[in-house]
Amino acid sequence: MPAIVVVGVQWGDEGKGKVVDYLASKSDFVVRYQGGNNAGHTIVFDNKTFAMHLVPSGVFLPGVQNVIGNGVVVDPKALRSEVELLESKGIRVRGRLHVSLSAHVILPYHIILDGLREESGHGIGTTRRGIGPCYEDKVARVGVRVADYLEPETFKVLVDQNLRLRACDLEKVKPLAQVREEVFAEYASLRKFLKPFCGDTPSLLETALRARKRVLLESAQGAMLDVDFGTYPFVTSSNPIAGGACAGAGIGPMAVSGVVGVTKAYTTRVGLGPFPTEIEGRTAAYLRQVGKEYGATTGRPRRIGWLDLVQLRAALRVNGVSALAMMKLDTLANVHPIKVATAYKVGGKRVAEFPISRAGQLDAEPVYETFPGFSGDLTGVRTFAGLPKAAQDYVLAMEELLKTPIPIVSVGQDREQTISRGKGIIWP
């Protein structure tokens, strides 16, 4: 039963959308298994750039079915806007998008609560889309699932219950009656929009896998934002790691035959939290400008850093990565020299493992190895041999240091700007 997981192995924004789009050409299903519309995948299709937030990246390939799994939190209004945008550009979505009845629903009061927390001085730099509060309701067993949302009487009971539970916080912003009015303002039209897409997606995927269909599972965010294994508490509210794919899609672990990790040729991070290899100054400004390092969801400038092998080794281990895709190699062109963190110093001692403690993560000082830079425009290169030798050497060195094959190298946003090295099995 061939299923492949595509997961970011840094702090998100690695270019997973492009990798999924690239691999989806040989897939039958693409499944998003966690996160919400706080995530963003930037896809270039037909010379147009799309920032996707909920709809899986396989939507741009006509023969591919797309699933929003039960592990995702869904804002119906955001989903409707995304579907309408795609359809306005001639991309057929209806009949090709399936939303799990077990997915939880983001409602207006979740967004209010998210904003309150960020403004209280205890925020972590969220996108204020309501993702965290929605996951909180899920874990507290008071959440509203898609199945509940589609049943008006059930929905009303749950909303009234939750407004009472959250009244103390919500009334700091506006009267509870006004919040309730906002929840129901577009409910009828949103329910009508959402209903045709919804179904028992685990059964759909089981049928597909038994028929030997190829299923590609895509994460949002990245491994270092995982609620269990990331730089806690500066993390997301779900499990982006490959282990979250089965729970978030409703399939068994034996279905997964490989994990493709996605990394940039350097490192970025959005939001607050530890970032050992972060740099500032001219090099950071150059990489941000050339790499267009601004969040697909918020437009926030991303923090910039050198590639961090300590962090990557931790992410590769916890995800069981079988192959890596290295993105934005072209952005590193004209940077001389290139630094890579191969170890840390924590408390004055050299360590090879990423620290688990908050203090250790904040204290981590990178130990760098220097590599020769390379020059020129790489965006037109289509073979590995066509890259400058120093660029080839950089990829090969990372492959050796990480003990993981790098069969995919990206030199631009377009699907065609992808170099396949012909090594490292992606599909069985």
> In this model, does residue 57 exceed pLDDT 90?
no
Cβ atoms 424, 322 nearer than 8 A: yes
| Residue 393 appears among annotated catalytic residues | no
> In this model, does residue 425 exceed pLDDT 60?
no
Express each pLDDT in 61-71 by its tens digit. 889 999 999 99
The reply to whether 104-192 and 263-420 are identical in fold is no
Average pLDDT estimate for 238-255: 96
> In this model, does residue 296 exceed pLDDT 70?
no
pLDDT band for position 119 (cuts 50, 70, 90): confident
What is the distance between the alpha carbons of residues 204 and 67, in angstroms, rounded to a whole number? 9
Which long-range contacts (C-beta less than 8 Å, at least 24 apart) are formed by 386-394?
Answer: 387/329, 387/411, 387/419, 391/329, 391/332, 391/333, 394/265, 394/329, 394/332, 394/338
Average pLDDT estimate for 215-236: 95
Cβ atoms 146, 198 nearer than 8 A: yes
> What's the DSSP call for residue 24?
G
Residues for the chain: how many in total?
428
Catalytically annotated residue among 13, 137, 226, 330 = 13
Fold of 3-100+198-258: Adenylosuccinate Synthetase; Chain A, domain 1 (3.40.440)
pLDDT band for position 304 (cuts 50, 70, 90): very high
Q: Give the position of tokens 């030199």.
A: 411
Cβ atoms 269, 231 nearer than 8 A: no
User: Going by C-beta distance under 8 Å and a sequence separation of 6 or more, which residues neighbour residue 398?
Assistant: 307, 309, 326, 340, 406
Express each pLDDT in 352-366 by its tens digit. 999 999 999 999 999
Dihedral Cα 217, 221, 222, 226, nearest 10 deg: -100
pLDDT band for position 265 (cuts 50, 70, 90): very high
pLDDT band for position 47 (cuts 50, 70, 90): confident
Supply the pLDDT for residue 121.
74
Catalytically annotated residue among 21, 28, 41, 137 = 41
> In this model, does residue 118 exceed pLDDT 90?
no
The verdict on domain 263-420 having CATH code 3.90.170.10 is yes
pLDDT band for position 277 (cuts 50, 70, 90): very high
CA-based nearest residue to 107, from 53, 183, 11:
183
What is the distance between the alpha carbons of residues 174 and 299, in angstroms, rounded to a whole number? 28
- The pTM of this model reads 0.92
> In this model, does residue 184 exceed pLDDT 70?
yes
62 upstream amide cis, omega within 30 of 0: no
Cβ atoms 36, 67 nearer than 8 A: no
Supply the pLDDT for residue 38.
79
Domain boundaries, the chain: 3-100+198-258, 104-192, 263-420
Please tell me whether residue 64 adopts helix, strand or coil conformation. Answer: coil
What is the distance between the alpha carbons of residues 222 and 268, in angstroms, rounded to a whole number? 11
CA-based nearest residue to 24, from 172, 214, 212, 154:
214
Fold of 104-192: Adenylosuccinate Synthetase, subunit A; domain 2 (1.10.300)
> In this model, does residue 426 exceed pLDDT 70?
no
> In this model, does residue 1 exceed pLDDT 70?
no
Average pLDDT estimate for 217-239: 95
337 upstream amide cis, omega within 30 of 0: yes
Please tell me whether residue 360 adopts helix, strand or coil conformation. Answer: helix
pLDDT band for position 94 (cuts 50, 70, 90): very high
What is the distance between the alpha carbons of residues 383 and 411, in angstroms, rounded to a whole number? 10
* Average pLDDT along the chain: 93
Express each pLDDT in 14-24 by its tens digit. 999 889 888 98
| Residue 160 appears among annotated catalytic residues | no
Written as six digits, the tokens of 351 are 């360590």
Q: Which residue has the higher pLDDT, 43 or 8?
A: 8
> In this model, does residue 382 exceed pLDDT 90?
yes
What is the distance between the alpha carbons of residues 108 and 183, in angstroms, rounded to a whole number? 6
> In this model, does residue 428 exceed pLDDT 70?
no
Express each pLDDT in 126-143 by its tens digit. 888 999 999 999 999 999
